[in-house]
A = this chain, B = another copy of it.
Amino acid sequence: MSDMSEANETLSGAMGLLTRYHPLHELLGMTVEPLDTDSLCIKFAMRDELCGYPGQGILYGGVIAAVIDIIGGTIVSWSRLKDIKEQPLQEQVKRLKNIGTVDLRVDYLRPGKGKEFTATASVLRTGQKIVVTRMELHNEEQRLIAVGIGTYTVG
């Protein structure tokens, strides 16, 4: 099996466990895809409901914070899942539920204008206790709108 289809399969397992229906995800209208074997992306389209002011066409700060948090937590789960995929499903679920955000920083670099947005994440540090991730949010013109960095406990 190719690395990429394996990445998809692992993701699908993680998604079944993790990105269960959530109202925030529905509000964002987001989909999660593996970018390559080490990074993930979330895509979502501009909608008036995601803006700070109706008609202004700029993503609301709270929406950006939520997306950055979600993609960070998802890549931690996904990378963790790769390590524990031989274990029984019940054990996998328990391990994934042990993952927690310790802290998160978001830098809002430019106004959140655009039609399509892509959030990506990669792992900066990994270990038995702590995982640190870097997140980025671009629009369809590859303009960097926000960056994030997050620290997570795994167990």
Contacts and interface: CB of A to CB of B under 8 A. Distances in A.
Interface stretch (A3-11, A78-86, A102-110): A102-110
Interface size class on chain A is 35 or more
Interface string A89-122: 0000000010011111111111100000000000
A56 B93 CA distance: 13
Please tell me how many copies of the chain the complex holds: 4
Contacts of A46: none
A107 B149 contact: yes
Contacts of A49: 23
Contacts of A149: 103, 105, 107, 147, 149
B129 A155 contact: yes
Most buried by B among A27, A61, A62, A125: A62
Contact of A63 (B20, B24, B97, B130): B24
